[in-house]
């Protein structure tokens, strides 16, 4: 699994929101019926590729996590976001792609 590493929580949070919007924008073009009125993405039935409006919906990609060297969010494997190209997901995100998650930030001792 790969990750995007950011210097600050604000950068990571902004990138996650941008990634989610990139995905919504793509889905609106290729499968507009999969975008709910609230902007969430309606899941599909893997057996028949039909939208499942009553199933769980995707509202965001990930919650950025603190690590010793900044903040990270996971990158999707291409098959997890198909037919959305990874290049579309990554548009305008910034950050540094890393192939392993850096160590977690240590909790301050009280």
Tell me the per-residue pLDDT of 29-88, one tens digit each, with 9 for 90 and over.
998 998 999 988 988 887 888 888 888 888 888 999 999 889 999 999 888 887 889 999
Greater confidence (105 vs 103) lies with 103
Provide the Cα torsion 76, 87, 93, 9; round to 10°.
Answer: 10
Q: Which is higher by pLDDT, 108 or 89? A: 89
Write down the domain spans for the chain.
Answer: 3-32+60-98
Is it the case that residue 109 has pLDDT exceeding 80? no
What is the rounded distance in angstroms from the CA atom of residue 36 to the CA atom of residue 53?
8
CA dist., res. 21 & res. 52, Å (int): 21
């Amino acid at each position: 699994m790969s990750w995007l590493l950011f210097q600050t929580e604000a950068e990571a949070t902004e990138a996650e929101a941008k990634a989610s919007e990139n995905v919504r924008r793509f889905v609106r073009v290729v499968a507009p019926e999969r975008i709910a009125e609230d902007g969430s993405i309606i899941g599909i039935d893997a057996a028949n590729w039909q939208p499942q409006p009553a199933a769980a919906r995707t509202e965001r990609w990930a919650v950025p996590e603190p690590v010793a060297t900044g903040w990270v969010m996971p990158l999707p494997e291409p098959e997890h976001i198909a037919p959305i190209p990874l290049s579309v997901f990554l548009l305008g995100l910034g950050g540094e792609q890393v192939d392993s998650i850096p160590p977690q930030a240590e909790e301050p001792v009280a």
